[in-house]
Amino acid sequence: MVILKPVNNSDALLLFLLEQENYPHNYYKYRNLIQMINNTNYLVYKLIVKNNLYGYFILMHSGDDFELIRLTVKKRHHHQSYGQQMLKYILTHFSYQQIFLEVNEHNLVAQQLYLKHGFKIIRTIAQYYGAENGYLMVYHH
């Protein structure tokens, strides 16, 4: 059974360890995760399967819009639809006008997921990921 629910401070270490695993060169620091968890401008939710953390997402509130700043699944659970389940939850459970996100130009799996669910690429961001470009994507509610 898949459960999506808000993160609390006691979850921060697990999120931090997942950050280090999935983003070894560009992970959120533990203190930054704690700050986001406790800031009302952020929605931080965890994906739990069999009482284990499989993934999480972070939305940042900006007026009537959101920015999806992180949607991640543990590497050993990739390609099992958990990212899709989190994205569907985001699109159907929150009130917003638009959702923005940035994705690496080489992350074709993520791009396909977002495009499949109605996101559109609106521009290329040069060198957003160091030497690599990113795409700014938007979903209109």
Alpha helix (H) residue ranges in the chain? 12-22, 30-37, 82-93, 108-116
Enter the pTM of the model. 0.94
* Burial (CB count within 10 angstroms: exposed 0-12, middle 13-18, buried 19+), residue 64: exposed
Q: Is the pLDDT of residue 129 over 90?
A: no
Asked if residue 106 and residue 84 are part of one domain, the reply reads no
Q: Name the domain count of the chain.
A: 2
| Cβ atoms within 10 Å of 136's Cβ, excluding its own | 15
Asked if residue 131 and residue 88 are part of one domain, the reply reads no
Cα separations in angstroms, 19 against 39, 63, 92:
19, 27, 25
Whole-number mean pLDDT of the chain?
96
DSSP state of 35: H
Asked if residue 5 and residue 45 are part of one domain, the reply reads yes
Specify the pLDDT at position 60: 98
Q: Is the pLDDT of residue 64 over 90?
A: yes
Asked if residue 87 and residue 36 are part of one domain, the reply reads yes
Can you tell me the mean pLDDT for 11-32? 93
Asked if residue 6 and residue 63 are part of one domain, the reply reads yes
Asked if residue 49 and residue 12 are part of one domain, the reply reads yes
Q: What's the CATH code of the domain at 48?
A: 3.40.630.30
